[in-house]
Structure 1
């Protein structure tokens, strides 16, 4: 603990996917299977992956997030590559590739359950996740973590207005709030824009659309290696 100041009485707001439990790694396994299945005659895997990312970006803006939107993106990417509509057989093939998304069990990050028990004794804990409501709720229920949080919110998008709304809804000064997550784009940057502090815990499997540059000189952002490191600061 030497050289580290532990804070008390803070409002800690936690991201869910890829912060409390693994998520995107399952999507990436499906993408890897999709790239093999497509087997394009002229484009390599990296080129197909870039096309899929463009399709995902457009669909996220128009339709949000989650397995159903991801499945839609796979289908649209396939049709773009083949330059024709997918057949019924091909659509079933794509759906079979994505079966793992539905069957995937929630796998908590190491130390999450134990750390939340400790943190809940000193701070108010909130949960903020984005995505398709039913799908996110299923994961929240399966995690067996909800009892640690004062409230859990599922929102369609995370931006600065979302964090301003959260602080207002729960009546806390943004300067006393900390957004804890793995996504620069959805967790760290918009929270900072709303006047909150943030804790960045990187995940090597973070979705490419969640990447963004962080200012290492920003003193309002803590950079930690793993989730249990929170206990040294809070």
Structure 2
């Protein structure tokens, strides 16, 4: 096998396709509704935002990327402010919020700029592509099918509800990856970059203008770690080619 051919593992949500922007749209509607219901109590959008993030992150830490976590965080936040201000929760309002939360999974999937060009370039260069995404199988497979990602990843697709160092290690050991020839490309410091650095594989961090708070963690980079930061997906092939050129000298 050509030593120049690399094993490149891609995250999907907010790396290859848009995700967070749909949650932001739903949250905007949610904040507007909650502040309207609690307008007589002076509840602000920032208060609601802060509490919802706190509850959402706590749920993910316990349950992973379960689809029920987001809508349940909306209801739990609603109940928090109801209890604080002694406003009796209304069943119909909770049902409305749950359906609002679930609607985020019905949004049309949209590719990130340069997704097709990037995957084509890497595939044509002989690299081996893998997809590693967090979430529930049914929801993630729908996105994969809509974006026709099977043509790039075939059976090399891994969907995990918990996306952490243990899940990544399981995948790396399952296929006996040679770590110096393996890359992780993703937008999350928590679920992509930190596990990849811990596992000792090359890492490309796709930095976003705005990022979900859950994804933000402080990195503890070791001297042997290889970490590149890019702002566009289309930079990835050049980064890998440049790295291989430098290491072959």
1:32 alignment partner in structure 2 = 28
* Residue 3 of structure 1: aligned partner: none
**What is the alpha-carbon distance in structure 2 between the residues aligned to residue 161 and residue 99 of structure 1?**
28
Give, in whole Å, the separation in 2 of the partners of 1:55 and 1:175: 38
Match of 2:127 in 1: 123
Out of 198, 203, 212, which is 1:198 matched to?
A: 203
Alignment coverage as a number of residue pairs: 228
In structure 1, the residue matched to 2:247 is none
- Structure with the largest fraction of helix: 2
**Map of 1:48 onto structure 2:** 48
Rounded Cα–Cα distance in structure 1 between residues aligned with 2:180 and 2:164: 17
Q: Which has the higher contact order (CA 8 A, sep 6+)?
A: 1
Question: What SS class does the counterpart of residue 73 from structure 1 fall into?
Answer: helix
Q: TM-score, normalised by structure 2?
A: 0.84
| Residue of structure 1 in register with 2:137 after alignment | 133
Contact 1:25 1:205 (8 Å CA) reproduced: no
Q: Are residues 1:105 and 2:108 paired?
A: yes
Question: Which of 1 and 2 has greater Rg?
Answer: 2
1:23 to 7, 16, 19: 19
Give the equivalent residue in structure 2 for 1:11: 7
Aligned to 1:57: 57
Q: 2:78 matched to which residue of 1?
A: 78
Return the alpha-carbon distance in structure 2 between the equivalents of residues 102 and 183 of structure 1: 20
Aligned partners of 2:68 and 2:102 also within 8 Å: no
Q: How far apart are 1:61 and its partner, in Å?
A: 2.2
Shift of 1:100: 4.0
Q: 1:217-232 alignment to 2 at 5 Å?
A: 220-232=226-238
SS at match of 1:144: coil
Give the Å deviation of 1:85.
6.5
Q: CA deviation at 1:205?
A: 4.0
* TM-score of the two chains, using structure 1 as the length reference: 0.89
Structure 1, unaligned runs of 5 or more: 1-6
